[in-house]
Amino acid sequence: LYTAISEIEKASANQAPLAYQNQMKEIKEKLEKQFITPLTKVYKKQFKTNNMRIIDKDVTDWNHLVYPDALFSQKIYEYLENFNL
């Protein structure tokens, strides 16, 4: 949702302001402040180290159930870090 709103903002930058553009900007800021930034900090502090350990070992018979979750979480974290939030 955050990415979609950002793309709409970019696309409409050279056009007349949209009626709902201010509302989208408020929603984007709310998503960032209330959810994305706090949850990114929690992941980095509490889960990143363990997930990286799991990912570095690759899939084994001991971690095959948690490996997909660790990989998904890490990829989302990397995406958000590259998105410069």
Task: Please write the tens of the pLDDT for every residue from 13-36.
Answer: 777 667 777 788 888 889 899 999
Predicted local distance difference test score (pLDDT) of residue 84: 64
Which H or E run contains 18? none
Q: Which amino acid is at 66?
A: V
Name the pTM for this structure.
0.74
Positions of the chain with pLDDT under 70: 16-17, 84-85
3-class SS of residue 62: coil
Q: List the structure tokens of 81.
A: 């870090």
